[in-house]
Amino acid sequence: MHPEDIKAAIRKKGFTAAVVADHMEVSRSTVAQVISGRATSARIKDYIAQITGLSVDTLWPPKPVLVLRRPTPSVPPKSRTHGRHAGAAA
């Protein structure tokens, strides 16, 4: 859910992010960071979910796991010769 939608859901229930911060005894910036997704706190997320009546997964959907892998070459690399080249003069 977009952070503005989360804030709107909180406001619809008669709360503000500042009130959430006061109830949770944390700073307002901490609540703002959790709402925006820049910080995580299960305790704050659970409280906001309880206030809004929405699940944590609805408010903050899980992000897909991105696995980066190097592409496998279709042609094996050429082997390197060690020492002098075959055509080099001795």
How many C-beta neighbours within 10 Å does residue 20 have? 21
Number of compact structural domains in the chain: 1
Instruction: Establish if 18 belongs to a structural domain.
Output: yes
Residue 38: give its domain's CATH number: 1.10.260
How many C-beta neighbours within 10 Å does residue 21 have? 18
pTM for this prediction? 0.70
pLDDT in tens, 50-85: 999 999 999 999 888 888 887 776 776 676 666 555
Instruction: Establish if 81 belongs to a structural domain.
Output: no
Instruction: Establish if 32 belongs to a structural domain.
Output: yes
Please answer whether residues 20 and 13 qualify as being in contact, where contact means their C-beta atoms are separated by less than 8 angstroms.
no
Question: How distant, in Å, are the alpha carbons of 3, 77, 81 from that of 51?
Answer: 15, 59, 69
For the chain, the 3-state helix, strand and coil shares in percent, each to the nearest 5, are 45, 0, 55
Instruction: Establish if 72 belongs to a structural domain.
Output: no
For residue 38, give its domain range.
3-59
Q: Collapsing DSSP states into helix, strand and coil, what is residue 26?
A: coil
